[in-house]
Amino acid sequence: MNKRTRWIAIALTAGPLSACAGTSKGGATDFTVRTTPAGATVETTRGYRCTSPCRVPLGPYAFAATVSLLGYKPVQIPVAAGENPGSIDINLLPQDPGAAAPVPVGGKSPPQ
């Protein structure tokens, strides 16, 4: 799946991120991330980390949240400054069967 198709799939799955449920100024101070399957790691570029389903704090600046789970393709969620997506539901897609496996520590594969 190319990047453009992936973003379209994310947009359709996650819903419109610009739909404001409130802003961080005088409104909601966080948003909810739910994933299928549950248990994915949600990590923001501001250093916040939680396990889905979870609430992610907002701030006055734009940031991105990466959603990842072993065996599934990671998803990045951009959050514009001052906007609150409310809640985001993400259906994680399995990794491609032919995708490269992570390289073990030390760069050597275990003996078979």
CATH number of the domain enclosing 61: 2.60.40
Query: In the block, which residue shows the tokens 């539901």?
Result: 89
pLDDT at residue number 109: 54
Say if 74 falls within a structural domain.
yes
Q: For residue 61, give its domain range.
A: 3-95
Higher pLDDT, 94 or 111: 94
Q: Is residue 23 part of a domain?
A: yes
Count of the separate structural domains present in the chain: 1
Phi-psi region for residue 92, left (φ > 0), alpha (ψ -120 to 50) or beta? beta
pTM, rounded to two decimals: 0.63
108 in a structural domain: no
Domain membership flag for residue 109:
no
Considering the domain boundaries, does residue 45 fall inside one? yes
pLDDT in tens, 18-41: 333 334 344 568 999 999 999 999
Distance between CA atoms of residues 44 and 54, nearest Å: 12
Asked whether residue 15 is domain-assigned, the answer is yes
